[in-house]
Amino acid sequence: MAGNGQWRAAGRVVNFAASPLSENAVCGLLRKENMKRTLSLLLLLCGGLFAQTSQTIPFRAMLSARNEVPPIDSTAAGVATVWVHLMRDGAGAIVSGSVDFDVAYTLPGTATLTGLHIHRGAAGINGPVTVDSGLAAANPVAVDETGRGRIQRQGQVIATNTNGLDTLRGLLENPAGYYVNLHSTANPGGIIRGQLMRADWQVFAAEMNPRNEVPPIAGLDASGIGTLQLLTTRDTQGRVNSANVVFEVQYRGFPEGTRLQGLHIHTGAAGVNGGVTLDSGLGAANAVTVPANGQGTIRLENEINLSAGAVTTIDNIGFTPGNFYFNLHTNTNPGGAIRGQAIALDRSHFQVRMLPSNEVPPVTGLDAAAQGGVTLHTLRDANGAVTAGVVIFDVNYRFPGEATFTGLHVHNGAAGVNGPVRWDSGITSASSVVSAAGFGNIFRVFTVSSETGLAALTSAVANPELHYLNLHTTVNPGGAVRGQLAAVNNARPVVIDVLSAVSDPTMRTGAQGGLITIFGSDLAKVPTNLAGLGGGAYPTSVNGTSVTIGGIPAPIIAIGREPQFTPSDYMVVQ
């Protein structure tokens, strides 16, 4: 088979001729530990083009007054979600960072909150503050008689903050050695506290319509794209001990005035109804009324009650997402109006060096830069085209002083060309981000369902150099710093070897319908694991890449890249 195939990408054709790999090299490449992906690398922006890279990692802490040292006899409690945004130098060392604090609290009554920090210290031990959120007695938060509220702040760890940098490193090695502490005037040493735990973050999607309901709904021409962000932690025994969900549904086609009054994840394969296991919190009391144009967006965040059904879903949805489904309920269809099976998504990561000189025309006199990240989670049809997607904006900015950011987008356009916005982070003049020091991180998640947005996703995973990330400010409304998702890559693909999917690595032929693995370099501009297939069958074209064997297009199972190995690229085809 190695001599009978051709590889095509962007109009180029390469014969399968090659410099064969040694048996040891081939076996090494096929070892499980060399092929696996881990959730902890979800947002790792690896690359050798730029001196710095960025990484975002979530942590959580369950807060309680009884965790204070000494314990406080109070019902006060809360949950802290901490997003740590790291900057690394070319050697991989952490050189700076930003920390997002998001604390939901329930106190016995009124209070004045005066501090929120990360401290160094194991459970039962008080320790020093090492990362400060910025909440202080000079700008306190007043808690009303309900005792409930939420604090969102961002703390900075600059290059000279030795204790802060040690904490960022320590969190990766032993998060339980650090704790989140919320302080008040009545309890200046801390009112609620909890040890940090590393969290797993997963993203799922579904294409929802009435025909998927059981039984199908007739006479309703509605549809939607649903996404689920699932953030979980586990104890030392591997048991789920916290879970937070963010549901989003972009819907269309409902009659005006329809009340959307339920949004859940249910257990059940296609064609089977099942019980609710993950709840968005949408109900009759906070129902959404469909506007005149019949379309809109629902976005809800909820802390999950860890029932047996919820834990079972959390434990299994990552492995068998098709056994669970999204369901949107209405007043006219209380059993469900539009439904879709959950699907795990492909992931593509781009690191972007953003500079004023990349703007068109170049911005002069501004000593600023940003290390940006764009992560695409995509759902594809059987042809490999993107039918739904989630875009994660992750930008670490460094400006010379105070800055007000009024936009963060991905645009269509090659280097040196301005183009239209295709994915919008949601930052605007009315919802700007103000940074007093000009140092920080912007982290946003955006669901794509429009035709132009989806076309841009399909284009970006094939030709990322034709799209750019742009950060806008009040001083530079057209863009202050900009960078292409990837550099132009005109390197011709090189096929080094083709291996049949059998245990004997000396085999170079395969049976019809069997799997083969192609090794080489520059096999595709953007690798993907093809997790997000909505069409069932594997596509014959992925990210601008196709394979023809004996004149017949071959379904593509995966396109991978392992930069630490030579050859770095591999493809699995049928």
Residue 507 banded pLDDT, cuts 50, 70, 90: low
Last residue of a domain, one of 180, 195, 210: 195
The answer to whether position 469 is within a domain reads: yes
Listed in sequence order, the DSSP H helices in 174-320 are 308-316
Q: What is the mean pLDDT of residues 381-400?
A: 94
3-state helix, strand, coil in the chain (%, to 5): 10, 45, 40
Q: Which phi and psi angles does 286 have, rounded to 5°?
A: -125, 35
- 337 and 249 in a common domain: yes
Domain extent at residue 454: 346-484
- 315 and 243 in a common domain: yes
Total domains in the chain come to: 4
Residue 381 banded pLDDT, cuts 50, 70, 90: confident
- 477 and 387 in a common domain: yes
- 559 and 432 in a common domain: no
DSSP β-bridge partners for residue 118: 131, 180
Last residue of a domain, one of 293, 311, 344: 344
pTM of the full predicted structure? 0.87
Nearest-angstrom CA–CA distance, 538 and 559: 12
Tens of pLDDT, residues 177-210:
999 999 999 999 999 999 999 999 999 999 999 9
Last residue of a domain, one of 195, 222, 254: 195
Assigned token pair, 326:
């999204």
- 357 and 325 in a common domain: no
- 323 and 354 in a common domain: no
Q: Closest Cα to residue 18, out of 571, 573, 567, 568? A: 567
Q: Which of 81-95, 406-420, 538-552 has the lowest mean pLDDT?
A: 538-552
Q: Within 10 A of 14 (CB to CB), how many other CB atoms are there?
A: 17
Task: Report CA 559 to chain centroid distance, whole Å.
Answer: 20
DSSP β-bridge partners for residue 76: none
- 71 and 188 in a common domain: yes
Residue 88 scores a pLDDT above 60: yes
For the purposes of burial, counting CB atoms within 10 Å of the CB of 177, is it exposed (0-12), middle (13-18) or buried (19 or more)? middle
- 373 and 508 in a common domain: no
- 204 and 340 in a common domain: yes
Residue 534 scores a pLDDT above 70: no
Query: Can you give the CATH number for the domain in which 162 is found?
Result: 2.60.40
